[in-house]
Amino acid sequence: MRVSGGPGNAGISSLYNTLYQGKIAMHSNRLSRDFFPTNNAQGQGSFSMNAMQYISDIKSASSALSGALKDLAGPAFNQRTMVSSNTDAMTVSFTGSNLSSVNDMTVQIDQIAMGQLNEGSRMNASASYGGDRGVNRFEIETGGKTTQLSISVAAGDSNRDVQQKMATAINNAGIGLRATVETDSKTNSSMLRIESTNVGTDEKNAFSLRDFTGNAVAQTGANEVSRQRQDAIYRVNDGPTQVSRSNTVNLGNGVSATLKAATAEQSVTVSRGRDMSMVRGVVENMVRSYNSLFSAAAENVNDFKAQSLASRLMNVASAYSRSLSEVGIGFDSSGKMTVDSNRLNQAFESGKLEQFFTDGGRSFGFGASLGRLADNVSSNTASFVSNSLFGSNTSYSNFGNLIQHNFQGTGSLLDYMF
């Protein structure tokens, strides 16, 4: 619910708190006169803020759910963009204005841009560290700047302990390096890996380590370069070789690409196709809206109409649970929807996802059944709340009309009061 001319959802909670504290008690007689004419004196103008929140929640959630289902009935699958035939090697995006004018293209990736990688000596992970004890200081030079770091080596430290202390110190320094300790459980060995987070051959991306006091660098072999920094090398449409210090490259005509892996002799094709990212977004919106509506109803355990709504939602979901699972949509133990991204992607690629949501449009099937229920909740909210939510002192002969006329369009109960 959004109050016309007033605060949005973010301000509703504070407004309810204000109402609860009685700071707008002067409106109570007016509300009672216009909307609750049969109230007794004791309950005059009283109503439950929890009930009003529930009405707001199910109305907004059902409206969002209905909108998502309508998009999934066709429009979401009609969107087109430029797509990559091999997203493991390269992803693409289109930021141009005229997709129809862009021709298909092929991209051969000879190598991607990478940063320098140092791999230290592989050491016996659990063996007692053989280097200097106490405080060890070492320096890292990167981007023309020298940073001094220190670790404290205790008498009982293992090789892996010291490697991990060095990795932690490097990561905490925030100097564009990522350090990890790679452990091989089969050989009980460990190795310190240090990689630049910046890619390309720019000189500022080079780094080196040296001991200042102690011998931690020498003992762990942390200054051993195992991979030099490199630029991306690629070709578009069998054209000339192009070099980039970044893996984000411009292919022309509003198409940009992120290079992720070399493709050997096999090129990646870029062509017009369906926009999976948009479809995924609509599916996730549907799931969020369904869960919000279901939770609002299921948590109102003292209201039989709310519980009936939760049951109706579960009945629709249950009837299509097998088909939903096949397209990557499941349910957890609380009855909320979940998404399996891998299965959703597979269903999208095979066309099964589109078929599931678009077969029959809004006439039959899961989308149609759930959509009709969502539309009913959105347009006839009063039917999904019983008097028990509003306390025992108020008579509600006109409360249905209040909801029907004031929780639709631009009006609201809070509009009336303010």
Q: What is the mean pLDDT of the chain?
A: 82
From residue 171, alpha-carbon distances to 35, 138, 297 in Å are 63, 14, 47
The rounded distance, in Å, linking the Cα atoms of 183 and 181 is 6
Residue predicted with more confidence, 79 or 360: 79
Closest alpha carbon to 403 in 22, 26, 29, 36: 36
Helix (H) or strand (E) holding 295: helix 276-298
Question: Could you please report the per-residue DSSP string of 397-410?
Answer: TTHHHHHHHHSSTT
Give buried/exposed letters for 108-146 (b at 16+ CB in 10 A, else e).
bbeebbbbbbbbbbebebeeebebeeeebebebebbeee
Q: With contact defined as beta carbons under 8 Å apart, do 295 and 336 qualify?
A: yes
Give buried/exposed letters for 374-388 (b at 16+ CB in 10 A, else e).
bbbbbeebbebbbbe
Coil vs helix vs strand at 284? helix
Closest alpha carbon to 310 in 302, 300, 320, 319: 300
Task: Please compute, for residue 117, the number of CA atoms within 13 A of its CA located in the half-sphere on the CB side.
Answer: 9
- Distance from chain centroid for Cα 118: 33
* Chosen CATH of 117-227 out of 3.30.200, 3.30.70, 3.40.50, 1.10.10: 3.30.70
Residue pLDDT, tens place only, 170-219: 999 999 999 999 999 999 999 999 999 999 999 999 999 999 999 999 99
The pLDDT assigned to 360 comes to 52
**Percent of residues, the chain, with pLDDT higher than 90:** 62
CATH 3.30.70 in the chain, residue ranges: 117-227
- Distance from chain centroid for Cα 1: 24
What is the reported pTM? 0.59
The rounded distance, in Å, linking the Cα atoms of 403 and 112 is 60
Question: Could you please report the per-residue DSSP string of 159-222?
Answer: HHHHHHHHHHHHHHHTSSEEEEEEEETTTTEEEEEEEESS-SS-GGG-EEEEEEESSHHHHHTT
Residue pLDDT, tens place only, 267-283: 999 998 877 888 999 99
Q: Is the dihedral of CA 65, 70, 76, 77 positive or negative?
A: positive
Closest alpha carbon to 37 in 381, 398, 407: 398
